[in-house]
Homo-oligomer: A and B are copies of this chain.
Amino acid sequence: MHDDDIANIMRALGHPVRLSILRFLASQQQRECCCGDVTESLPLAQSTVSQHIKVLLDAGLIERKPHGTRNRYMIRQDRLAELGTAFGGLIEGLNLRAPHKEAEPA
Contacts and interface: CB of A to CB of B under 8 A. Distances in A.
By size class, the interface of chain A is 35 or more
A29 interface: yes
B3 A16 contact: yes
This chain: copies in complex: 2
Given A3-B16, A26-B97, 13 more contacts: A3-B20, A6-B13, A6-B19, A7-B14, A10-B14, A19-B90, A22-B94, A27-B97, A29-B96, A80-B91, A81-B91, A84-B87, A87-B87
Interface of A: 3-4, 6-8, 10-16, 18-20, 22-23, 26-27, 29-30, 75, 77, 80-81, 83-84, 87-88, 90-91, 93-98, 100, 104-105
